Amino acid sequence: MKKIRGFILISLLWAGCKKNPGDANPPGPTPVNFILSSWSVNNIATSQTTYYNVTRTPVIKFRFGAAINRGTVTANIILKDNPGNPVASNVSYENSDSVVVIQPSLPLNYLAKYTISVMNSLKSTNGGFLVSGKDLLLVTLIDSSRKFPILSDNALLDSVQKQTFKYFWDFGHPVSGLARERSNGDNNVVTTGGSGFGIMAIPVAISRNFITRAEGLARMQKIAGFLKTMPPRFHGAFSHWMNGTTGAVVPVASNDNGADLVETSYLMMGLLTARQYFDGADAGETALRSDINTLWNGVEWDWFRQNGKKVLYWNWSPDYGWAVNVPVQGWNECLITYVLAASSTTHGISKAVYDSGYARNGAMVNNNSYYGYVLPLGQPSGGPLFFEHYSFLGIKPSGLNDAYANYQTQTTNHTLINYTYCKNNPGGYFGYSDSVWGLTASDIPNGYTASSPTNDIGVIAPTAAISSMPYTPTESMKALKFFYYVLGDKLWSDYGFRDAFTLQDTWFAGSYLAIDEGPIILMIENYRTGLLWNLFTSCPEVKAGMLSLGFTAPYL
């Protein structure tokens, strides 16, 4: 009996020492990582990660495959502005905390970039982590309010011309009077072609009472005197860029430190226009005309045929000869080069050089249709719009014909193709419309390019649409008003419209370029009065030269 009692006692003691499964906390569920199932911005739920035209108080929802640990949300779902500063936001939850709703506490800025990031350190209520994070880019909508008081169309055009003229007048080089190449570069670098455009703007400024005739004459005397004495000339031609104080060549490239015949042609177009305008019998205007004739007659256009070839060549260097070796061939911005070469009474060229060189024996002809518009000349869809601007600052396209094209059709249809392309917006760029159009050469973010329907990166240059006003007055005026009234707080400044912008990337150039500002003044004036067309084509040499090339027009 003692043994039995001892066994029972031991058994009871062992039982009393044994752990009961219910005595300790049971182990929790194993953490399971989870995914971001979907997201939406203002109930637009797609797989896209970039949203345009976003309202200023967007509702952003993230849907997850698990309930979210609220304590980890603030540090792992963050809305930031473009510089990277956090934006205060309100957070709420739906669907048992598996949906996180973010909304900025205050309205976002108009036309601005924001990023909302979901990080993979976000946790679920059971301790799992987000498998993969996500970044969304938000671009807010345009502020459609009018930034400036409404003006009559004439007053608006006056304002645009006057403000843009300041680039050449107030910002002109103090020593030479020539146009600085750009506003955000070396202020001692002046541009030959852009200076030609600036010279043409002086008669406009006088006729519009921005400056007096005496002031315009004084600036022209400074410019002509500098060009006669300071910069080197290479068989009469000038370099692309030069030092505005000394006239020394500023090379465009390592082997391009001499003549630029095309830039020289823009300069000569400007000088001849000024010669025709300053037609007074007084000593000052008489001397100016004499100085301009000296410069004009000194250009050896025929020498740039490179030993008698039936084509003109763009560049020549005293150090590298014809190393650049680019023939001037169309269709492009260089019609004026051949017109002036044919107009020279000292170093002229024949029609054969124009036909073989520029027209390429008809190879510049296109005659295909784009968006319903037949394009007589040039590359597919026309190329950048400056092709229809630079030469036609002085050459009047209305009623102008030759063996290859009707130039009124060429300039108008090229512009309409560019306009229709932007309006149709096949690239899907944010902001393109019948009010936001115009592809041409301009600054772009971190560079420069010749934009066109076949080279479109979403950058609009105001000069493209505005300088096309003689060809598409209704479409151009609509664009000008949008640029001024709607985008004016970002696009309009000291010298008129900034060089370019992209709503896609909310970027507005800080720059002004002489070759883009000049055509704005001049083509608005040609639309309004035809002043530059009338002055340039009144040159007897130009009339004779154009006739020799086979052009016909009522003014020839």
Task: Flag the least confident range among 4-8, 444-448, 470-474, 546-550.
Answer: 4-8
Give the chain's end-to-end CA distance (angstroms, integer): 143
- Sequential DSSP letters for 375-444: EEESSGGG--GGGGTSGGGTS--TT-B-SS-BHHHHHHHHHHHHHHHHHH-TT--TT-SSSS----EEEE
Contact, 425 vs 434, CB < 8 A?
no
Q: Which amino acid is at 468?
A: S
Tokens 């009623």 locate to 399
Quick check: 1 pLDDT over 70? no
Quick check: 37 pLDDT over 80? yes
Average pLDDT of the segment spanning 326-341: 98
Q: Tens of pLDDT along 107-148?
A: 999 999 999 999 999 999 999 999 999 999 999 999 999 999
Give the whole-number percent of the chain exceeding pLDDT 70: 95
CB burial string 13-34: b at 16+ within 10 A, e below: eeeeeeeeeeeeeeeeeeeeeb
Query: What is the assigned CATH class of domain 153-548?
Result: mainly alpha
To the nearest 10 degrees (0 to 180), the angle between helices 514-528 and 153-169 is 140
Task: Output the average pLDDT for the chain.
Answer: 95
Quick check: 27 pLDDT over 80? no
* Residues facing residue 365 across a β-bridge: 377
Collapsing DSSP to helix, strand or coil, 514 comes out as: helix
In the chain, what are the domain boundaries? 36-140, 153-548
Q: Tens of pLDDT along 203-253?
A: 999 999 999 999 999 999 999 999 999 999 999 999 999 999 999 999 999
| CATH code linked to domain 36-140 | 2.60.40.3710
Q: Which amino acid is at 500?
A: A
**What was the pLDDT predicted at 26?**
61
Quick check: 12 pLDDT over 70? no
Alpha helices in 94-191 (DSSP H): 153-169
DSSP strand E in 19-149: where? 36-41, 50-54, 60-64, 77-81, 89-94, 99-104, 113-118, 134-140
**Residue 370 host element (H or E):** strand 365-370
Evaluate the omega torsion of the peptide bond into residue 331 and state whether it is cis, within 30 degrees of 0.
yes
**What was the pLDDT predicted at 29?**
75
Average pLDDT of the segment spanning 264-288: 98
Quick check: 475 pLDDT over 60? yes
* Residues facing residue 242 across a β-bridge: 190, 249
**What was the pLDDT predicted at 46?**
77
To the nearest 10 degrees (0 to 180), the angle between helices 192-207 and 153-169 is 130
Q: Tens of pLDDT along 488-530?
A: 999 999 999 999 999 999 999 999 999 999 999 999 999 999 9
pTM (2 decimals)?
A: 0.93
CA distance 98 to 93: 7
Alpha helices in 115-231 (DSSP H): 153-169, 192-207, 213-229
| Token representation of residue 439 | 């592809």
Quick check: 471 pLDDT over 60? yes
- Beta-sheet strand order (sheet of 134-140): 50-54, 134-140, 113-118, 77-81
Quick check: 10 pLDDT over 60? no
Q: Tens of pLDDT along 279-325?
A: 999 999 999 999 999 999 999 999 999 999 999 999 999 999 999 99
Distances (CA, A) of 211 to 205, 206, 523: 6, 5, 19
Average pLDDT of the segment spanning 84-95: 98
